[in-house]
Structure 1
Amino acid sequence: MFAHAFRFDQFNARVRNTFSAPRKPRHRVLRVLLGLIGLTLLAVLVMFGVFVGAAMVVGGLLFKLWKQRGKPVARDPRVLDGEFRTVDPVSLPR
């Protein structure tokens, strides 16, 4: 009795229609208005992303400069600062 009272085919159709793609409005002015609202929202989100990305780059540069404070800086342009290690003459090719 309960299986006949609960219609699975209607339930599946309702669930499928709930999560399907939204329908476009038929009125032309409303379509254009919603399109412009969507483009404006997209532009705002892109600009927000650009500003957040720029802030992250600037923050990374400031952090890098903060870590390098107090370290000596080579003033002679011919000086190449770096780390090195000596290699045994036995391991060099002849």
Structure 2
Amino acid sequence: MSSFHRRTFLRFRNLAFNAPRRPRHPLLRVAVGLLGVALLLALVVVGVFVGAAMLAGGLLWRLWVQRGARAGVRRRDQAFEGSYRVVGKAQLPLAH
């Protein structure tokens, strides 16, 4: 392997896998911490609004689809038909 490829690989490895360093200045640390908390809160708020919008959209979709159907009336293709038989409780052998 040539030295050029090795140098490029090591540079990429150092950039990709080294942990970012925290700032040393105390006020800058507080500012970065507050920025992280603000970003987290913003993502939570956006997630709540997106979830509420999805629920409202689903409710509106369901109401739109059912707008012509009468309440409490089951359509003919939704009827359950068939023959049924009652199955008794399984009897397990006694373990001695």
Q: TM-score, normalization: structure 2?
A: 0.69
Alpha carbons of 1:71 and 1:28: their partners in 2 closer, same or farther (altered >3 Å)? Answer: same
SS for the counterpart of 1:24 is coil
1:17 aligns with 2:14: yes
Q: Which residue of 1 aligns with 2:36?
A: 38
Q: How many residues align?
A: 81
2:53 to 41, 52, 55: 55
Give how far 1:73 is off. Answer: 1.4
| 1:38-62 CA-partner distances (Å, limit 9, x unpaired) | 1101100111011001100110011
Amino acid of the structure 2 residue aligned with 1:43 = L
User: Structure 1 vs Structure 2: percent identity of aligned residues?
Assistant: 47
Alignment of 1:75-90 (within 5 A): 81=74, 83-87=79-83
Q: How far apart, CA to CA, are the structure 2 residues paired with 1:47 and 1:66? A: 28
Show structure 1 runs of 5+ residues with no match: 75-79
Runs of 4+ in 1 over 6 A off after TM superposition: none
Q: Which residue of 1 aligns with 2:65?
A: 67
Show structure 2 runs of 5+ residues with no match: 87-96
Q: TM-score, normalization: structure 1?
A: 0.70
Q: Which residue of 2 aligns with 1:77?
A: none
Cα RMSD for the two superposed structures: 2.4
